[in-house]
Amino acid sequence: MSETVTLTIDGAEIQAKPGQMILVAAEEAGIYIPRLCHYKGLKPHGSCRLCTVTVNGKPMASCTQPVAPGMVVETKTEALNQFRRQILEMLFAEGNHYCMFCEKSGNCELQAQGYRYGMTAPRYPFQYPMRDIDASHPDIFLDHNRCILCARCVRTSKDLDGKNVFQFVNRGKHKRVAVDSRARLAGTNANVTDQALGACPVGALMKKRVGYAVPVGQRLYDHKPIGSEIEAKASR
Amino acid sequence: MAKPKVATASLAGCFGCHMTVLDIDDRILKLIELVDFDKSPIDDIKHFTGRCAVGLIEGGCCNEENVHTLQDFRKHCDVLISVGDCATMGGIPAMRNGIPLEECYAEAYLVGPSVHNPSGRIPNDPELPLLLDKVYPCQEVVKMDYHIPGCPPSADTIWETLVALLSNKTVDLPYELIKYD
Amino acid sequence: MNPNLETDIRQICKEFGNDRGRMMDIVIAVQKKHGCVNDDAMDLIAKTVATHRVEVESTVSFYAFLSTRPRGTIVIRLCHDIIDKMHGSDAVAAALAREVGVPFGQTTSDGKITLEYAPCLGLCDQAPAALVNDVPVTNLSTDKARWMVQELRKHHDPNQLVTEFGDGNNAHELIRSMVYNNIRKRGEVVFAEMKPGEALQKALSMSPAEVIREIKASRLRGRGGAGFPTGMKWEFTRGAPGDNRYVMCNADEGEPGTFKDRVILTECPDLMFEGMTIAGYAIGGNTGILYLRGEYAYLRSYLEHVLADRRKKGLLGKSVCGAKHCFDFDIRIQMGAGAYVCGEETALISSCEGTRGDPKNRPPYPAQKGYLDCPSVVNNVETLCCAARIMEKGAAWFAQMGTTDSPGTKLLSVSGDCKRPGVYEVPFGIPVREVLAMVGAEDAMAIQIGGASGQMVGPKDYDRPISYEGLATGGSLMVFGPKRNVLEAAHMFMDFFVEESCGYCTPCRVGNVLLKDRLEKILNGQGEPGDLDYLQELGQTVKVLSRCGLGQTSSNPVLTTLKNFRNVYEGLVKVNQDKFQSSFDIKAALTPARKIIGRESVIYT
């Protein structure tokens, strides 16, 4: 399609492709909208709500909202930042996020969003849920304590790996990722080369025996906030 | 003019955060110019000698004694700071949360692989504080004014926070100083 | 493995065309036959309809009425909402647990009886109520509860618990229920006489565009609560590209305190089916789906009978009302299985497609891509009744009732502390005070209007009209008398949302748990003034950030009580001088250790 849609994001006029989601259009223009459940190559999911922006003053998830001509989008108002902090604090309070010994620490997107928003401790009481670890598979483990229910593994396995290893079961606070076998992960056709592993933003779905491979100080988010690489595009 | 006083305590923690306070290296000399230490394992003062400007708490609350100490700090300190992940979120000790307390006691005193306890009883000396039903982060027991995450927080993080507070500035840590590991 | 399981599952799957899109029907049928959908069953179903086992588990585990583990051959589900509680359901629960011999959530060791709680069963005007398998048992007392269990132990037949039938069609041989309609006021739209086919004939004499124009001219708005203009919805659906178009009737009446659709389904299903057929004609669709909540399964055979009758009369099926109209339309019934969120239109569609009842992302809207990605219109039971009546009597006739923005009548389901609970058909715009006088609740201290997702308002709002522009409601009006605690009600509503959240998005899944916990803290006398700000901020976040209508209204119990009954909160919270957390209870925290160690604390004596 040759035509473009013109909209305003954070005061700047942006050209976007018709049908493009606001989050992606912003990203192409060097504006980073924080996200957790959004993952390149997958259909938008809209579950974490971290990417909420205002569109003509109305709050909307930017990962599921397509651009429209003349839209006025704000992505970084103080109110939005407050909302995002609360979402992050909810996620930290909901699960069991022990960053101090997590193999994903330093490369974890949830943690990185916490850093980006300067979170020191959640305002909400920790729920300390009882959750399971599935270490049955020889090469992969699934630690439900760290899961934030973003469905990136579910969708990647289905849409990119062409498998169907994961799906959600139960609802509400009991919702969790389940695997396609009653014999746990070992009984599925999950493989260590599956893209689903790389899709997990946190340390819930990981390769065994490669923890802590990158020294502290050299990890993805040790020095620069998540999203800096997108924002760098704008300043170039 | 008298120097402001700082008190510290290690509750359910590993003392790693206290070690990090010492890790500020030669800045410790500057710190001593700025403050006096009151109740603290650093100087081994066991009881508060007076009101303190700042209390630094390492560790969460896993037993009644932790709660008592924390409440004592809250009474005596103007500003109370959670230092480290155990104080802010329970940390490694909180991994027992969700496991019935009976199993925790049994693992520690009766059936754990390294236990030698011919009596087969859980010790019951009043000197041993009773455990709480779960490990509580400090802010769930008393109001905390600041939280410094990290396991442990870096020496720079602790230093920056203290200096800001003692010079009446707002604590605004740069990106690289907020870490959860 | 049960040797019959494989044969039965093959048979059941075949019956539904081995179509995984009919997963709801398949798993409901399997459970009916085998008591649950266990591991073996999930494996077999997956194999038979060529899907993944985890997809089957995903669906089964989502719905409260479905189970992967065996339950009793008789499941007693006691309604667990605020109105039932006000009418003594706690005592009934205790009596049931004693008589059955197991606590709620468990099954007797002989595998005969399971006790469970259920959210609103749609029987608040005859509370306390329970479902025994599919059979509603109403006006429970402790004596009746004991009697019920003793009877069940004798004959194991829930149907035999019905010794007397309710009014109207409840006595119909295909319903045979003790439920009462309690229609207290009949209006001209829904509860008036109708001749099946009359409205439809009129509609078919017009072009679909003219039908839509007529509905638009009537200014009819959705009766489920959101109030979207029905004519526009139909127009969008008609205009969207697609080979098939679907009409879905939302009979997943789950909003606590609402039961008017149950009465429509019992007394005037023809009007509703006629509305669906007219909608099908207007949008250019050939298929209608009635999504019937699992709680109303006892009405299913009767509704199937009405559908069969309409087919016989030529009002459904091939060439509706004669070949000259070139219009084929039929309706199937899709059963739900205990999930409030499926009343949300996109969740309803997910459920009809055989998956978990997760709402979908919008856009695209159902009018563009709904059921099976085809343009679909989802309307409330009452809305479709109105549409049929509009075709019969004309838009102008309809629009002169009610107010400019809210034309027509509205069915109210009234329950709680009032003399005459039941269903009232009133013109829109009627002031609350007038309704309260009508139902015998002049001394109401508060009313919850619009169900759990609605608002709690007090006397200062009683002169406001019930309408979309005033106090909006999908039909629920719960009355709280002078001695009630509005915060206890709010707490129960939050409990409801915690149970019913699908868990898809963060704010609703986590935020509601946090709201409920903090409300509990305040009710326990451990609250501080700061907790009110916490609730306000958190409630607002859940409202603004949640993904669907359920989430966006789930914090209303807290937000509206904070707004209208702040004094109640303020009376409960205490300023805390020592900066200790009043919610931290050292005595309670030490209880397990004191029991294990066998001594008291030496510090906290």
Tokens representing residue A97 in the block: 């996020």
Q: Is C262 in contact with C292 (CB distance < 8 Å)?
A: no
Confidence at residue C202, expressed as pLDDT on a 0 to 100 scale: 97
Pick the CATH number of A85-207 from 3.30.70.20, 3.40.50.300, 1.25.40.10, 3.90.1150.10: 3.30.70.20
Q: Is B89 on the interface with A (CB under 8 A)?
A: yes
Question: Which superfamily does B5-97+133-177 belong to?
Answer: NADH:ubiquinone oxidoreductase-like, 20kDa subunit (3.40.50.700)
Residue A116 per-residue DSSP state: H
Classify residue C153: in a domain, yes or no: yes
Kindly state whether residues C109 and C221 are assigned to the same domain. no
Residue C466 per-residue DSSP state: B
In angstroms, the CA B166 to CA B35 distance is: 9
Kindly state whether residues C259 and C337 are assigned to the same domain. yes
Q: Which residues share a beta bridge with C414?
A: C422, C477
| Cis peptide bond prior to C363, omega within 30° of 0 | yes
Confidence at residue A234, expressed as pLDDT on a 0 to 100 scale: 76
Q: Which residues share a beta bridge with B148?
A: B83
> Model confidence over A132-169: pLDDT tens digits?
999 999 999 999 999 999 999 999 999 999 999 999 99
Q: B27: distance to nearest CA of chain A, Å?
A: 23
In angstroms, the CA C256 to CA C81 distance is: 7
Kindly state whether residues C323 and C211 are assigned to the same domain. yes
Q: Is B42 in contact with B8 (CB distance < 8 Å)?
A: yes
Residues of chain A with CATH 3.10.20.740: 5-76
In angstroms, the CA B12 to CA A100 distance is: 15
Q: Is C417 in contact with C480 (CB distance < 8 Å)?
A: yes
Residues of chain A with CATH 3.30.70.20: 85-207
Asked if C602's CB is within 8 angstroms of B133's CB, the reply is no
Q: A214: distance to nearest CA of chain B, Å?
A: 14
In angstroms, the CA C431 to CA C308 distance is: 41
Chain B neighbors (3+ CB pairs < 8 Å): A, C
The DSSP result for A59-108, as a single string, is EEETTT-B--TT-EEES--HHHHHHHHHHHHHHHHHS---GGG-TTTTS-
Q: Is the pLDDT of residue A3 over 90?
A: no
> Model confidence over C65-121: pLDDT tens digits?
999 999 999 999 999 999 999 999 999 999 999 999 999 999 999 999 999 999 999
Classify residue C288: in a domain, yes or no: yes
Classify residue C172: in a domain, yes or no: no
Task: Give the distance from CA A13 to its chain's centroid.
Answer: 27
CATH architecture of A5-76: Roll (3.10)
Look at chain C and report how many structural domains it folds into.
Answer: 5
Q: Which residues share a beta bridge with C377?
A: C247
Where along chain B do its domains lie?
Answer: 5-97+133-177
Domain with C240, as residue range(s), is 184-399
Asked if C58's CB is within 8 angstroms of A90's CB, the reply is no
Q: How many residues does chain A have?
A: 236
| Domain end among C370, C399, C428 | C399
Q: Is the pLDDT of residue C20 over 60?
A: yes
Asked if C514's CB is within 8 angstroms of A90's CB, the reply is yes
Q: Is the pTM of this model over 0.95?
A: yes
Q: Is A25 in contact with A66 (CB distance < 8 Å)?
A: no
Kindly state whether residues C549 and C503 are assigned to the same domain. yes
In angstroms, the CA A112 to CA A202 distance is: 10
Pairing between β-strand C455-457 and β-strand B36-37 as defined by DSSP bridges: unpaired
The residue to which tokens 């009732």 are assigned: C401
Instruction: Name every chain A residue with its beta carbon within 8 A of the beta carbon of B147.
Output: 120-121
Asked if A115's CB is within 8 angstroms of B175's CB, the reply is yes
Average pLDDT rounded to a whole number, residues C397-414: 97
Asked if B129's CB is within 8 angstroms of C590's CB, the reply is no
In angstroms, the CA C505 to CA A48 distance is: 6
Average pLDDT rounded to a whole number, residues C396-422: 98
The DSSP result for B125-148, as a single string, is -TTSPPEEEEEE-GGGTB--SEEE
Classify residue C604: in a domain, yes or no: no
Q: C566: distance to nearest CA of chain A, Å?
A: 22
Kindly state whether residues C147 and C285 are assigned to the same domain. no
User: In what helix (H) or strand (E) does residue C332 lie, and over which residues does it extend?
Assistant: strand C330-335
In angstroms, the CA A44 to CA A62 distance is: 10
Q: Is B19 in contact with B83 (CB distance < 8 Å)?
A: no
Average pLDDT rounded to a whole number, residues A121-129: 97
Residue type, C509: R
Angle separating helix axes C260-267 and C269-283, nearest 10 degrees:
90
The sign of the dihedral angle between the CA atoms of C512, C515, C520, C521 is positive
Candidates C130, C123, C135, C67; CA nearest to C99 is C130
Percent of chain C with pLDDT over 90: 98
Residue type, C69: R
In angstroms, the CA C43 to CA C54 distance is: 9
Q: Is the pLDDT of residue C132 over 90?
A: yes
In angstroms, the CA C600 to CA C605 distance is: 7
The sign of the dihedral angle between the CA atoms of C149, C151, C157, C162 is negative
Task: Give the distance from CA B1 to its chain's centroid.
Answer: 29
> Model confidence over B128-154: pLDDT tens digits?
999 999 999 999 999 999 999 999 999
Confidence at residue A236, expressed as pLDDT on a 0 to 100 scale: 55
Q: Is the pLDDT of residue A2 over 80?
A: no
In angstroms, the CA C586 to CA C106 distance is: 32
In angstroms, the CA C80 to CA A71 distance is: 46
> Model confidence over C211-233: pLDDT tens digits?
999 999 999 999 998 899 999 99
Q: Which residues share a beta bridge with B5?
A: B36
Q: Is the pLDDT of residue C59 over 60?
A: yes
Classify residue C597: in a domain, yes or no: no
> Model confidence over C137-184: pLDDT tens digits?
999 999 999 999 999 999 999 999 999 999 999 999 999 999 999 999
Q: Is A33 in contact with A51 (CB distance < 8 Å)?
A: yes
Chain A neighbors (3+ CB pairs < 8 Å): B, C
Q: B153: distance to nearest CA of chain A, Å?
A: 11
User: Counting one residue from B and one from C, how many pairs have CB atoms under 8 Å apart?
Assistant: 67
User: In what helix (H) or strand (E) does residue C479 lie, and over which residues does it extend?
Assistant: strand C476-480
Asked if A125's CB is within 8 angstroms of B178's CB, the reply is no
Kindly state whether residues C414 and C334 are assigned to the same domain. no
> Model confidence over C506-519: pLDDT tens digits?
999 999 999 999 99
Instruction: Name every chain C residue with its beta carbon within 8 A of the beta carbon of A196.
Output: none
Q: Is the pLDDT of residue A180 over 70?
A: yes
Classify residue C592: in a domain, yes or no: no
Average pLDDT rounded to a whole number, residues A52-78: 97
In angstroms, the CA C41 to CA C28 distance is: 12
In angstroms, the CA C42 to CA C36 distance is: 10
Report ipTM for this prediction: 0.97
Q: Is the pLDDT of residue B165 over 60?
A: yes
Among B71, B131, B143, beta carbon nearest to C593: B131
Average pLDDT rounded to a whole number, residues C474-503: 97
Task: Give the distance from CA A179 to its chain's centroid.
Answer: 20
Task: Give the distance from CA C156 to its chain's centroid.
Answer: 28
Asked if A216's CB is within 8 angstroms of B92's CB, the reply is no
Q: What's the CATH code of the domain at C469?
A: 3.10.20.600
Please give the angle made by the CA atoms of C25, C30 and C34, to the nearest 5 degrees.
155
Candidates A165, A164, A87; CA nearest to A119 is A87
Average pLDDT rounded to a whole number, residues C312-332: 95
The residue to which tokens 């599952």 are assigned: C9
Confidence at residue B40, expressed as pLDDT on a 0 to 100 scale: 96
Q: A188: distance to nearest CA of chain C, Å?
A: 10
Q: Residue-wise over C486-507: b if at least 16 C-beta within 10 A, else e? A: bbbbbbbbbbbbbbbbbbbbbb
| Cis peptide bond prior to C128, omega within 30° of 0 | yes
Q: Is C593 on the interface with B (CB under 8 A)?
A: yes
User: Counting one residue from A and one from C, how many pairs have CB atoms under 8 Å apart?
Assistant: 122
Confidence at residue B1, expressed as pLDDT on a 0 to 100 scale: 64
Please give the angle made by the CA atoms of B145, B149 and B154, to the nearest 5 degrees.
115
Confidence at residue C153, expressed as pLDDT on a 0 to 100 scale: 97
Q: Is C190 in contact with C264 (CB distance < 8 Å)?
A: yes
Average pLDDT rounded to a whole number, residues A69-87: 97
Q: Is B44 in contact with B101 (CB distance < 8 Å)?
A: no
> Model confidence over C535-544: pLDDT tens digits?
999 999 999 9
Q: Residue-wise over C553-574: b if at least 16 C-beta within 10 A, else e? A: bbbbbbbbbbebbeebbeebbe
Q: Is the pLDDT of residue C1 over 90?
A: no
Asked if A52's CB is within 8 angstroms of C514's CB, the reply is no
In order of C179, C218, C349, C358, C425, the CA distances from C122 in angstroms are: 10, 29, 22, 22, 17
Confidence at residue A44, expressed as pLDDT on a 0 to 100 scale: 97
Q: How many residues does chain C have?
A: 605
In angstroms, the CA C195 to CA C271 distance is: 9
Tokens representing residue C409 in the block: 């009548």
Confidence at residue C298, expressed as pLDDT on a 0 to 100 scale: 98
Show Cβ contacts of residue C500 under 8 Å, excluding neighbours closer than 6 positions.
A172, C119, C254, C339, C340, C341, C550
Q: What is the mean pLDDT of chain C?
A: 97
